Copies of this chain bind each other. A is one copy, B any other.
Amino acid sequence: MPSISQKGQAMPASPIRRLVPYAESAKKKGIKVYHLNIGQPDIETPEIARNAVKNADIKVLEYSRSEGSEQYRTKLAAYYAKQNIQISAQDIIITTGGSEALLFAMGTVADVGDEIIIPEPFYANYNGFATASGLKVVPVVSNLETGFALPPIEDFEKLITPKTRAILICNPGNPTGYLYSREELVKLKELVLKHDLFIIADEVYREFVYDGTKHYSIMEQDGLDQHAIMIDSVSKRYSMCGARIGCLVSKNKEVIATALKYAQARLSPPTYEQIAAEAALETTDAYFKEVNQEYTLRRNTLIEELQKIPGVKVPKPKGAFYCVVELPVADADDFARWLLEKFQDKGETVMVAPASGFYTNPELGKKQVRIAYVLKREDLIRSVEILGKALRQYNLN
């Protein structure tokens, strides 16, 4: 029997998926599981997007262009202009989700054995894309005490080697919810200019910023045109994760030309979903305002309730819809499994994402979990109540 590639063996399994069998057997036992573990919003996808698909007059479901439809990219550029990002349709390649944009970006800037520096904790699938691309992720540690702010630039500089090709940030951050300030972005800019690196900014949560704060895009920074690559997606913005429509944006023409070759090899992004994504651009400001208010309330509720539990530490995130929470447990992986396997309160329990999967060194996240606030407020209140009871019982054992 021929053997699997070393790369395939090294591909990380999703850290959250490890818990899925436990969640499934809990459900089989009739236990209701509140999913605090995933970033699948319950918000309705804008009707305008769904109707565009319903009303699409398609006889032959043809390939679109590899770089995405001209019309969609043109409208997308206009959307970005409203966000203070001045780009043209030629600077955009439509991808199959932000995931594919990340793969294209890594393949464009780095070769096998090259290094990418990423502040951790970070979105676990960055590991998967790096492994698939043969790259080494070099983590720079941010921590809960500072709310996961940008680590000192000296920490980055210590890690830069001749193999360093790029710095990858997620802004606002999954899993941290941290929103980088203008000052932090300027520091990063100086760093990448000094060392002639690329900076890849995953901005898929750009609309999810709270308390009147502003999101600063990597594309707004002067002097970074040849260095900046923005990753975006419609998944969270319009609650259409299943669309798998994202994009890679850069004013560096060689980056776009190279990413386009990757795009041509896979022919095109999906057609129906591009129709939905294009129509979604007409979504009213009222929708975003309402969604933002709802998430602000959810976040406030979640953080307030969590902070009532003795021993729990959680910074109040300014963006995205996650927070990283330190729990009074020695091993959050074990606790998360125990929640599903052994615990229930009136037939209900919660599923959380152990943060170890978001760190290169799992020890760093050993006491932490990521909680997503994508559920209704009453469900969040009940979830945290369950979590509090569970912690008391777990720590008695």
Chain A positions within 8 Å of B, measured between CB atoms, are 1-2, 4-9, 11-14, 17, 40-45, 49-50, 53-54, 56, 58-64, 66, 96-97, 99-100, 103, 107-112, 114, 125, 128-129, 132, 134, 165-166, 196-198, 226-227, 239-244, 252, 254-255, 258, 261-262, 264-273, 276
Contact = CB atoms under 8 A, between A and B. Distances in A.
A128 B244 contact: no
A197 B5 CA distance: 12
Contact of A271 (B197, B242, B258): B242
Contact of A258 (B4, B40, B261): B4
Given A40-B62, A96-B96, A267-B99, A5 B242 contact: no
B255 A268 contact: no
Closest 5 CB pairs of A and B: A128-B265, A242-B271, A11-B261, A8-B258, A99-B266
15 contacts: A4-B255, A4-B258, A5-B165, A12-B261, A14-B66, A44-B59, A45-B61, A49-B61, A53-B53, A61-B240, A96-B244, A100-B266, A128-B265, A132-B265, A134-B134
Contacts of A96: 96, 244, 266, 270
B60 A45 contact: yes
A128 B264 contact: yes
Contacts of A64: 242
B13 A41 contact: no
A11 B255 CA distance: 12
Contacts of A13: 261, 264
B14 A264 contact: yes
Given A60-B43, A112-B134, A270-B96, A265 B11 contact: yes
Given A99-B266, A110-B5, A267-B97, A50 B45 contact: no
A246 to B, nearest CB: 10
Contact of A242 (B45, B165, B239, B272): B272
Contact of A5 (B107, B226, B244, B272): B107
Given A261-B128, A267-B99, A63 B11 contact: no
Contacts of A272: 53, 242-243, 270, 272-273, 276
Given A8-B108, A108-B4, A128-B262, A63 B267 contact: no
B262 A107 contact: no
Nearest to A8: B258
A111 B271 CA distance: 32
Contacts of A54: 53-54
